[in-house]
Amino acid sequence: MDPFPPDENMVVWMGTNPNSRKVAEILHDEHVTLYYSVGEDQAYVAISGRARIVQDAKAKAKYWKNEWKEFYRDRDKGYVLITVIPQTLEVVNVKKGIISGNSITWTPPAVTFGSQSLK
């Protein structure tokens, strides 16, 4: 996946093929986790939240990268967006000393987001 950077509300947008397994799975269960890793820092961020498939033409134009032309030859029918509304964000970065929010359970430090509506 090649997601856009999270917006000011930590909402993540990404494009995909409407026939992909991801789309079918999200239509069945909207709960997802995005995982970003930086191996050399022994670091990761995990965003858990609700996903939605978006086919709005304006949103598809806004969240488009020209380098995707080869993959999505028909942007109207062969390209949809996935938007992820975050509920929690976990972070670990061993290099920076961010290791555990709880020394007994090793639960990572986390942020819980208030309820946000799907846009």
Close Cβ partners of 23 (under 8 Å, ≥ 6 residues apart): 16, 17, 53, 80, 82
Confidence of residue 116 (pLDDT cuts 50, 70, 90): low
The pLDDT, as a whole number, for residue 103 is 78
Number of Cβ atoms within 10 Å of the Cβ of 91? 17
User: Helix, strand, or coil here: 25?
Assistant: helix
Q: Please give the pLDDT value at position 35.
A: 94
Q: 5-38, pLDDT tens digit by residue?
A: 999 999 999 999 999 999 999 999 999 999 999 8
Q: Which residue intervals of 13-118 are DSSP H helices? A: 21-28, 57-62
CATH of domain 12-112: 2.30.110.10
Query: So where are the chain's domains?
Result: 12-112
What digits encode the pLDDT tens for the residues 93-112?
999 988 877 778 888 999 99
Q: What distances in angstroms separate CA 62 from CA 59, 75, 88, 91, one per listed residue?
A: 5, 12, 26, 29
